[in-house]
Chains A and B, each alone.
Chain A
C-alpha cells in the first residue's frame, strides 16, 4: 500500500487496488441524483411557493436542510465514486474532488463576474454594444467622481492608521489590568464589532450627531444646533462618519494586537530592563519590532474593508454634502441612473487600487510558506 508521506511531495505509487465498477456506478448515480434533487428543490422554492403552503418558516427550513444536507451528501457521493476508481486515478483525482465545489463557487461568484465587469466597462449602458473608452472619459470628466476618489483616499489615509493606533493603545493599557478587568473592558470595546454598519449609523447619526440638542449628544455637549452630518466644511461630516467605522473596528485591532503583545517573550523585556531601558524605549525598540507583522496584518485588513466602505455613507448621506465615495457612486450610477457602463468603469477604477495590496498579500503568503 502507499502511504501518503508528507504533503507537498509527490506520492510514489506502486501497484494499486483494482477498480470497483459497481461502487463507482453507485457513487455516480448518487452524484446525479443528489444534484437533481438539490437543483429542483431550490427551484421549487422559487417557483412553487404554494407547495409549501406559502409558509415562509417551512420554506426557510427546507432550504436550510437542502443546502446543508445536500452538500454533505454530494461530497459523500463524489468521494464514493472516486475511491472506487483504480487507485492510481483515485489518488490523483481526490484533491480535485475536494476543491471542486469551492472553486466552482469562486469561479462563478468572483472570477467570472470580475472579468465580465471589466468587459461591461467598455460597453454601453445596456451592455449591448462596445463604446470604447467613452465610459472612462465620462467618469474622469465628472467632478463628482474626483470628489468620490478624494474621499476614498481620505478614508484610506485616516481609518486604518487611527484604528491600529487606538487598538494598540487599548491593548497596551488592557495588558496592565488585572485578568478580570482586562477581560471585561476588552469585551466592551470588542462588542461594536457585532453591530451592523446600518445599526451603527443609526446609533451615531440619530443619537450623537442629530441636529436636535435634545437628541444629539454632540450638540448637547457643545450647546449648538448643528446638523453635523450635512456640514461639509473641511470634510467634517466625512471625518464624523469615519469615527463610526473606527468605533466598530478598534476591537478587532485590539484583539489581534493584544495577543501579539502577550506573545513577546518575557526574556527580551527583562533583558532590556536590565540594560536600563525606560518604558518608552522598551515599547519602541523591543515590543514594536516583534509585533510589526501583526500591525501590518491588521492594517491591511482594515484597508481592504475601507476600500469598499458603502453602508455608512449610503445610509447617512447617500453621498450628498461632499461625502460621496466610489462604492456609493457605483450604486447610484447602476440603480438610480441606470448607467451600467459608467458604473462598471467606476468599480474597475476601484479594482485598479487593489494591486499594491495584492502584491503585499501574495508576498506575505510566500514568506510564510517558505518558513
Chain B
C-alpha cells in the first residue's frame, strides 16, 4: 500500500471511487496503524486539558480524595460544583482581569500589524537606498531575546522617564515593538508573492501609495495579516513577563492573576483549576475560530523558507 499517498484534494479527479471495504472514499487504502496511532496521540494531547476542565468543576474535597479520571467510571458522585468559578471570579477579581486582558490584547494586536504592514509595503513595492541593509537588521532582530530589552525599558517608561509604566499604553508599545521584526518579515514574504503588475497599474491610474496600500495590497494580503494577527493575539493574551513587569496590579491580566494564584498553597488552591480554565477560554475560541487562517498563513510563509 502506498504509505505516503496524497490527500483527497490533490488526486481526487483521477481516482475511481473504490467502494470496497478497507478503502477510503478517495481510493486510498485505510491504514489501521495510522488510525490507532493518531487516536492515541490525539488523546494524549487532549487529556491534560480535559483533566483541567473536569477538575475545575469538582469540589476541593472531591479533588483531593479521588482522581479526576474516576469521572469516567462514576460520573455522578464527584462533588460537582460551580463554587470554584464563582470563587475565582469574585475573590481573585478575575472578571476585571478579563477586561484588562482584552484591553491589552486588542490594540497590542492591531497596532503592530498595521505598522508592520506599512513597512512591509515599503520594503516590497518601493525603492529606497539602504533597503537591503535595513531589512537585514530586521531579520537579525528577530533572534534577539526580549529579556535583553526589559531593564532599560523599565527606566524609559518609569517615573523618571515617560511615566507610563503600569498603564496599558506601555504594554501596547512593548508588544508592538517586540513583534515588529517578525511581523514585517512575514508580511513582506507574503507581499512579494503578489503580482507586482497590479500595483504598477494602480500607479499609472494615479493612485497614491496610501490608496494602493489600503485598497489593493492590504486586502490582498489578508491571509497573511489574519494569520499573524491570530498568533500575535495569542502571544499577547498568554504573555506573563511583560504584563507582570509593566502593569499596575489594578491593570493586571488574567495570566498574571493565575500566576499569583499558583503561588497560594492550602486555602484557595481549588480555585486554581477554574482560574486556569478561565484564562484559556478566549485563546481557545479565537484559535478554533481562526485556525483555518492560521494554518494557511503559517504554511504559506514556512514552505517558502
List residues of A whose CB falls within 8 A of some B CB: 1, 3-11, 42-43, 45-47, 56-57, 59-60, 63-64, 67-68, 71-72, 75-76, 79, 83, 92, 94-96, 98-99, 101-103, 105-106, 108-114, 116-117, 120, 127, 170, 172-179, 181-182, 184-185, 187-199, 201-208, 212-215, 217, 220, 247, 250-252, 255-256, 259-263, 266, 269, 273, 279, 282-283, 287, 293-294, 297-298, 304, 307-308, 310-311, 314-315, 327, 330-331, 334-335, 340, 343-344, 347-348, 350-351, 354, 357-358, 361-362, 364-365, 368-369
Contact = CB atoms under 8 A, between A and B. Distances in A.
Contacts of A259: 295, 299, 302-303
A92 B250 CA distance: 47
Contact of B4 (A127, A201, A279): A279
B180 A106 contact: yes
Interface in B270-305: 272-273, 275-277, 279-280, 283-284, 286-288, 291, 294-295, 298-299, 302-305
B234 A113 contact: no
B95 to A, nearest CB: 11
Interface string B137-154: 011111111111111110
A260 B46 contact: no
A213 B37 CA distance: 28
B148 A117 contact: yes
User: Residue among A5, A63, A304 with the most chain B CB within 10 A?
Assistant: A63
Given A266-B10, A327-B147, A188 B42 contact: yes
14 contacts: A42-B167, A56-B103, A71-B114, A95-B122, A98-B213, A105-B112, A109-B173, A181-B35, A194-B280, A198-B276, A199-B255, A203-B51, A251-B45, A262-B10
Contact of B302 (A7, A283, A297): A297
A213 B69 CA distance: 12
A62 B197 CA distance: 40
Contacts of B169: 42, 45-46, 63, 67
A192 B234 CA distance: 11
Nearest to A11: B127
Contacts of A340: 151
Contacts of A350: 145, 147-148
Main secondary structure, interface of A, reads: helix
B67 A202 contact: no
B114 A176 contact: no
Contacts of B135: 365
B240 A3 contact: no
B6 interface: yes
Interface string B60-89: 000111111100000000000000000000
Interface of B: 2-11, 24-26, 28, 30-31, 33-35, 37-39, 41-42, 45-46, 48-49, 51-52, 55, 63-69, 96, 99-100, 102-103, 106-107, 110-112, 114-116, 118-119, 121-128, 131-132, 134-136, 138-153, 155-156, 163-164, 166-169, 172-174, 176-178, 180-181, 184-185, 189, 196, 199-200, 203-204, 206, 208-210, 213, 234, 237-241, 245, 250, 255, 258-259, 262, 272-273, 275-277, 279-280, 283-284, 286-288, 291, 294-295, 298-299, 302-305
A72 B117 CA distance: 12
Given A7-B125, A191-B287, A197-B240, A113 B148 contact: yes
Contact of B279 (A199, A282, A334): A199
User: Residue among A110, A190, A282, A351 with the most chain B CB within 10 A?
Assistant: A110
Main secondary structure, interface of B, reads: helix
Nearest to A213: B67
Nearest to A54: B250
Contacts of B143: 304, 354, 357-358, 361
Nearest to B302: A256
Given A102-B118, A203-B276, A94 B138 contact: no
Contact of A94 (B126, B150, B286): B126
Given A3-B200, A63-B168, 6 more contacts: A98-B213, A185-B42, A198-B258, A215-B64, A220-B69, A311-B241
A255 B128 CA distance: 36
A175 B209 contact: no
Given A361-B142, A365-B136, A189 B41 contact: yes
User: Residue among A111, A343, A361 with the most chain B CB within 10 A?
Assistant: A361
A351 B148 contact: yes
Given A110-B177, A191-B287, A207-B55, A199 B276 contact: yes
Contacts of A369: 132
A296 to B, nearest CB: 8
Nearest to A262: B7
Nearest to A67: B107
Contacts of B31: 176-177
Given A114-B149, A351-B148, A1 B204 contact: yes
B115 A101 contact: yes
B128 A95 contact: yes
Contacts of A311: 240-241
A337 B273 CA distance: 31
Nearest to B248: A46
A172 B31 CA distance: 12
Contacts of B294: 255
